[in-house]
Structure 1
Amino acid sequence: MEKPIIHPYIPIIIGVFSVAISAIFVKMTTADSGVTAFYRMLFSILIMSPVFFWKYTHEIKKLSKRDWLFTTIAGIFLAFHFILWFESLNYTSVASSTVLVTLQPLFAFVGTYFFFKESISVKTLVSGGIAVLGSVLIGYGDFRISGSALFGDVLALAACALITAYLLFGQDVRKRLSLMTYTFVVYGISAITLFFYVVAKGESFGPYPAQEWMWFLLLALIPNLFGHTLFNWALKFVSTNVISIAILFEPVGAAILAYFILGEVLSWSQIIGGSIVITGIIFFITDYRKIKSYFFKIKA
């Protein structure tokens, strides 16, 4: 395995801060969830196209049938992750939605165990449990036993399962493809999936006011190209578990942004929960360094 030009933690941290603002942009839009997700992926592809067609088209020939299958599945999972998560934001708060959509360790630990035979240390499980507990506390004040908020919570949890599956399939393919080729193909498949979803639902592709197009573009630039793309880069060097733990910091950033931009008030349980999330992440990083030879697949 080649050695990365920078430590994977750096782009992962940038990626987490980038995706944290995603929920704010989605809340600002008035378009249907499928349409918002479609334009997010379409604009991402358009931005990447000049570089891809100039330098990376030859890599398409390297994709095996297995690569195409896994990339297609990953793209479809990513598409429906966005649909379900964007829809959840119509029913519940930014804090609750991002809490549930980032509970990925619950799925990632199981997925990497069965698909990649990755053993999980007791300390890793404990750190993940701490971070998950903190995430739950962040959204505690907004959780509901029934009604629309509960429906939004269920949608966010389903979106969480899908994004974890997307990362698991990507972890396999990314070890054989460049970041640009994998990202362009998976985003393209996701966009195609979303296009047919929008058509099937009878949602409108436009026209929309200029401000709406601005939100679509920002979703493509920041959460996608500076968020998910950086995660895809890191997947070549780290386990899905590492990214899943790091993404638990997203609710902290999203809740703070929602407070200042959308006026969503933070409760003490959310503030305490954010502190617990950070504690869990630090605990995991300490453990991660000690087992670097296992999780961090880079030759010294």
Structure 2
Amino acid sequence: MTGESEAASGAEPPVVVKVGGAKAVDPAGAVGDVANLAANGRAVVVVHGGSTVVDETLERLGIEPEYVESASGVTGRFTDAETMEAFAMAMAGKLNTELTAQFRSAGVDAVGLSGVDGGLLAGPRKSAVRVVEDGKKKIRRGDHSGTIESVNADLLAGLLDDGYTPVVSPPMAGDEGDGEVTPVNADADRAAAAVAGALGADLVLLTDVSGVYADPDDPETRIDSAATPGELAAVEDAAEGFMGKKVMAATEALEGGSGRVVIADANVRDPVVAALGGEGTTIERSALADDDAGGETGDADETEGIDA
């Protein structure tokens, strides 16, 4: 199931739904919505974050979460070996299993997968990252993060064709460069973007606000759509903090082959259907500059933390 084959058949493209990992994001609405979409024949892939659960797991283990700022101003989790162990426990072991069970309870034939399974999300491990500390650029070593460079779209397409709904979470399969694969952290928004691009799917990024605001403190200033490079630039300029990473992910999805991306509120009724109907900030593929479509995505210098 690819974007080209869907377009040729006139069928609706798949939908990738990213459910945020922050405590303020309630997945219940998305669960019911995905159940309705799947029951009506729409192919759906769910990707989830888990920042709150990871931090709670670290706290129980007596480990202080550490966030660092990259040279380009993006904040992400620094994942040392101890944190990576807790991350895998929380994401693949606890949260993915629980969320998959919620979908199955709602009648969805859900299959839980981590990015390591089947090489679903793969790329080089980054053991050293460039960070800014006290205004100075430094190299931090011992990180367990990675940049997603490939998606096993055939695995997802096979599951979708057989009527399953994949529920995907980091960690990803990190290539150590010597043939060894290590589970490493990857940002869930960017993971969802990679999946959407590989499938030619629409991407819905659900979060705890209704979209990108021109004034970050005023929901009435939500930017409803971006269909030109100039409008996308305005969205990028307005996005601050965690929203900046979501807009980055949206751009990566479009560059990879997604037709449109919607950043929308997870806590409204029927959040996925509402987002696909225009409730949120919709970024169209036409918003990319011509030389960006199909271009390289990601930044090797960025930290790869979990979404907020």
Which range, TM-score by smaller chain? under 0.3
Q: TM-score scaled to structure 2, two decimals?
A: 0.27
Q: TM-score scaled to structure 1, two decimals?
A: 0.27
Normalized per residue, the structure richer in strand is 2
Normalized per residue, the structure richer in helix is 1
Higher relative contact order (CA 8 A, sep 6+): 1
